[in-house]
Amino acid sequence: MRSSRWIIAFCAASLVAATPHAARAAGDQVVIGDIDDMSGVYADVEGAGGVEAINMAIADFGGTVLGKKIAVLTADHQNKPDIGASKFREWADQQGLNLLLGGSNTGVNIAMSKVAAAKKVPFITIGAGGASLTNEDCTAYSVHYVYDTTALANGTATAMINAGGKSWFYLTADYAFGTQLQSAASKVVEQHGGKNVGAVRVPLGAADFSSFLLQAQASGAQVLGLANAGTDFSNSLKAANEFGVTRTMKPAALLVFITDIHSLGLKTAQGLYLTDGWYWDLNDETRAFAKRFYAKMNRQPTMDHAGAYSAILTYLKAVKAAGSTDPDKVMAQLKKDKINDMFAKGGYIRADGAMIHEMYVMQVKTPQESKYPWDYYKLIRKMSGEEAFGPVTGLCPLAPK
């Protein structure tokens, strides 16, 4: 008897806690949402740091736009597309959401872009990489802000081929992102007269990569293309070193965040070529942002953190210029403006939603070259936005070829 009363009381309490404060929504404030992986494998790449970057941007903008207060909602999609999409829908219906920032995970972002189109809410993808977001999955309200699989492949694959790596074997994460990355890299390799020798599809989150690496080594290819990310990337590179695969093959990382290099250490990661959308130690402006971020999060920002900051500023500027939060007016304004801040110089949002900006081909420093904490990359080449993201493909109806 006593325990059932407790259960009822508990349920009642949680109901009260879960009821959204819908009354204050819409009208008197501008609502920005952020749905990201807050607790899983990608949480360090953006996660809580992304929320911090959003708040920094809002504070720098003055905390209000068009005389309205700016509110932030955050949620953890747990890498599940259905959770991301339903949270987005709920905020759009009940909280008067004006803008959604989509964090990591291409699958979740594709699901959320459908909601953006249905609810007419501007939707800016930050952490996810799949280029399909501005191609077959594009919508009139989508923007892909930081990087995509095309840009990563153009940067890293071209750099490897220029350094003499003509034949490639891929270690591919067996899901949408991995296969998109592999096919983008294969195309670049072929265009430059290189050869794709083979690939092995590795289940996501595999415990051991050594077996796949020996298969790669047996192929005789010169380059080991790592079409995976996060822990999978780190564990495969670690094993490649241990088994001496890196002595006969050059590893090419198709998606690396600086947090991965920090985890691995320079001794393991040195010499690696990679493509980044932003680096904290590029110039005084980036260093200033990094310093403020470091003070709050105790680590250097990734390109996603800087991108989230820039995306919020860009959106707020567009709202101010358009004099309205009306989604169509804001989208038109966004596609008109040039983006000039510490993240991008002369960046612009193309008709298909891709934010075209410079990308950087980097090489990881050796332990001797690294002079201070987080001094990890040397700049090999700056790619113009047009070169990195390539021409429009025609797959998105908004941007015919």
Smallest distance, another protein to C-beta of residue 266, A: 11
User: In the complex, what is the shortest distance from the CB of residue 115 to another protein, in angstroms, rounded to a whole number?
Assistant: 26
**Pair type for strands 355-356 and 223-227:** unpaired
399 neighbors 352 (Cβ within 8 angstroms)? yes
Q: Kindly tell me which of 166 and 262 has the beta carbon lying closer to another protein.
A: 262
Tokens 């979740």 belong to 108
Cβ atoms of 311 and 301 closer than 8 Å: no
Whose Cβ is closer to another protein: residue 141's or residue 212's? 212
**Residue 207 Cβ, how far from another protein at the closest point, in Å?**
6
| CA-closest candidate to residue 61, choices 356, 372, 374, 319 | 319
Can you give the binding site for another protein, defined by CB under 8 A?
39-45, 47, 174, 200-203, 205-208, 210-212, 214-215, 218, 230-231, 234-235, 238-239, 242-244, 259-260, 262-265, 268
In whole angstroms, the minimum distance from the beta carbon of 50 to another protein comes to 13
Angle at 384 between CA 383 and CA 390, to 5 degrees: 95
Residue placing its CB nearer to another protein in the complex, 93 or 174: 174
Residue nearer to another protein on the CB measure, 63 or 205: 205
Taking the least distance from each CB to another protein, the nearer of 265 and 397 is: 265
Task: Specify the residue for token string 């350094």.
Answer: 163
Closer residue to another protein (CB): 221 or 331: 221
> For another protein, which is the closer residue by CB, 264 or 311?
264
Q: Pick the closest to residue 286 from 266, 261, 310 (CA basis).
A: 310
Shortest Cβ distance from residue 86 to another protein (Å)?
23
58: which residues sit within 8 A by CB, 6+ positions away?
Answer: 32, 70, 72, 312, 316
Q: How far is the CB of 243 from another protein (least distance, A)?
A: 6
Beta pairing, strands 29-36 & 359-364: unpaired
Shortest distance in whole angstroms from residue 364 CB to another protein: 14
Residue closer to another protein (CB basis): 121 or 303? 303
Contact yes or no for 104/129 (Cβ under 8 A): no
* CA neighbor of 161 nearest in space, from 189, 196, 119, 198: 189
Give all strands (DSSP E) within 40-166, no chain letters: 64-65, 68-76, 97-102, 123-125, 142-144
Work out how close the CB of 300 gets to another protein at its nearest, in angstroms, rounded to a whole number.
Answer: 12
SS3 (DSSP) at 306: helix
